[in-house]
Structure 1
Amino acid sequence: MSNITLSRYLEQKKGNLTPALASVIHAIIHSCKIIDRLLQKGAIEGVLGSAENENIQGETQKKLDVISNQELIDILQSHPSVGGLASEELDTFTAAQENGDYLVLFDPLDGSSNIDINMCVGTIFSILPAKNTITQANDFMQPGVNQVAAGYVLYGPSTMLALTIGAGVALFTFDIDSKEFILSKDNITIDTSTQEFAINMSNQRHWEAPVQRYIGELLEGKTGVRKKDFNMRWVACMVGDIHRILCRGGIFMYPYDLKNPEKAGRLRLMYEANPMSMMIEQAGGSATTGRMRILEIEPTELHQRVPVILGATDEVNLVTGYH
């Protein structure tokens, strides 16, 4: 059993880690501990149910969406090393400190439709270098390769943190006694092959031909060209699906579809696709839109959407090749 706390882990000088970056990560995790406590209290705390308003994405917010978002804003906006922050829940960025070293982007509560049925949800975060003394909207328009750190907290049976600082991926488990995140596994690696996939099959009729072909081959199993059976899993929470891949492999797909041709994809580049892609690549996997590497996309807006195909390299390469 490891006795390495997150604090001790962040004292190591590796990857992109600096004292300032470590401090920003600690601030994010402090907020996540508060969010975790609220989730554990649930109905007792009166935090379940709808907030009866919509976010910038046009999605109905849960009460905990609003609470989690504000908790992260409050702690990050006052942090001396944060120049600015952006949330999936808000229309524009929020300015923080002049001369802040970093920009933080986050999805405060991914999978919030799961809250009221007591299934897993999570917080996703991405940290970029700040460009100017005073943060401007354009400063956030950086490709994912510029990220200095990324991670998520999974609020499940155990509360867990997955983190990369550009030197591999580490998993931590929250100890309810010490109130510390303890290192569970370091240097996570994803197998290049898999027999498990995650996709929302209800959108099948809207997929492009390459994805129709790929999923069709998986469903044929041993009787088809792949000559092996595949299992499907779908959590309806990206954090849960990506956590499964980091733990035991697989491929996750939210491809482009024709359900709403005006949207290039379902998932948000800055808040979901980039941080998850950084972690997957740091663990030896791959991440593309089906047509290009996600981390090389030059963003044009804060709430830009992209298709996402990530996980086991052999499978990601195959479906990307079909495009």
Structure 2
Amino acid sequence: MTPLALPGDTAIASPDLAAHLDARGADPALATLAIAIADAAAPLAARLALAGLPGDPARIVGSNDSGDRQKALDRAAHDHLLGALARADVRAVVSEEAEGAITLRPEGRFDVAIDPIDGSGSIGIGAPLGLLFCVFEAGGDFLRPGTEAIAAGYVSFGHSTDMGLSLGDGVDLYTLDPASGRFHLARERVRIPEGRPMIAHNASNIGHWPERLRDHVAARIASGANMRWIAAAVSDLHRILLQGGMFLYPADARRGYENGRLRLLYEAFPIAFLIEQAGGAATNGATRILALTPDALHAHCPLIFGDRELVAAIPSH
């Protein structure tokens, strides 16, 4: 089968991740960490693309600290990423798939919080999935405010595999070339498009929301806002960076949802870091996400993020 060529196609000419970070003058140790995650993401993307051909990636193998069912690929991705981070200057790692912090290098320079597979409820059905990570200078424990984060990123596994990365000087997007296994620069210093009335939320939860929030979202939709919901926060993050809008997963009245469902340290923190670097905002409905401090490694939080004006208009709750 011949490749599908389109008019005006040319060979990849954009720099790969390593070359781009070097040209930017990025801290070499921090660049090495980001490259390690990118290098690990390429075979993970290839494995996801095979679905159940080599075995069942959705097989239940246990549960994580939050009580979520842990699938075979959750565990495999966790182990795979730990191996990659062990080759970088990482002191300790907190992962959604492990109860406590894992020490890699006692004298390492960085601490990393990571969600190896975001949206893992959709493993094995071809739906978009993701990976999230947040980086801190090593020291103390992980129960520190998000303002201490120095870098964050994600990988979105869809029909393309895309990496968003910020080392604190804006957000750059890279796309994986499967032939070479390298991520190449796709968009530099991304800014969230403003004034795009799109809302990502799980509509089945609305009946449990605070009334003021429910009425606000209903009014937005009645006035023409479109609803989007991918059921993987990384995928909505990637879409919002490119197309605008906002994402809502607030706390609600159900038992177990009083503090939201997303994890603060390795989901909300990296998303908030990236969103702010792209000109947006991220809150828990009342307070800036990065101003929060987790009281436990797997603490939950409500999360609203996206276009700064859309987020600011959300009624406090």
How far 1:144 sits from its partner (Å)? 1.4
1:115 to 85, 108, 123: 123
After superposing the two structures, state which structure 1 stretch, 201-210 or 278-287, moved more: 201-210
CA RMSD after TM alignment: 1.5
1:9 to 1, 5, 20: 20
> Which structure: greater helix fraction?
1
Aligned length in residues: 306
Counterpart in 2 of 1:165?
167
Separation in 2, partners of 1:110, 1:95: 23
Counterpart in 2 of 1:177?
179
2:28 to 10, 16, 19: 19
1:199 to 198, 201, 207: 201
Matching residue's letter, 2:97: E
Give yes or no for contact 1:51–1:66 (8 Å, CA) kept in 2: no
**1:231-310 counterparts in 2 under 5 A?**
231-260=226-255, 263-310=258-305
How far 1:101 sits from its partner (Å)? 0.5
2:89 to 71, 81, 95: 81
State the secondary structure of the residue aligned to 2:134: strand
Give yes or no for contact 1:57–1:89 (8 Å, CA) kept in 2: no
Percent identity reads 36
Gaps of 5+ in 2: 1-11
Counterpart in 2 of 1:90?
98
Counterpart in 1 of 2:52?
43
Matching residue's letter, 1:42: A
Separation in 2, partners of 1:261, 1:58: 11
State the secondary structure of the residue aligned to 1:153: strand
State the secondary structure of the residue aligned to 2:254: coil
**1:47-66 counterparts in 2 under 5 A?**
47-66=56-75
**Is the alpha carbon distance of 1:167 and 1:48 closer, same or farther for their aligned partners in structure 2, counting shifts above 3 Å?**
same
Counterpart in 2 of 1:135?
none
How far 1:220 sits from its partner (Å)? 2.1
Q: Which structure 1 residue ranges, 4+ long, deviate > 3 Å from structure 2?
A: none
* CA deviations over 1:84-118 (Å, ceiling 9, x no partner): 00101111100111221100111000011212211
After superposing the two structures, state which structure 1 stretch, 34-43 or 162-171, moved more: 34-43
Matching residue's letter, 1:233: R
TM-score for both structures, normalised by structure 2: 0.92
Gaps of 5+ in 1: 132-137, 222-228
2:42 to 33, 39, 43: 33
TM-score for both structures, normalised by structure 1: 0.91
**1:126-165 counterparts in 2 under 5 A?**
126-131=134-139, 138-165=140-167
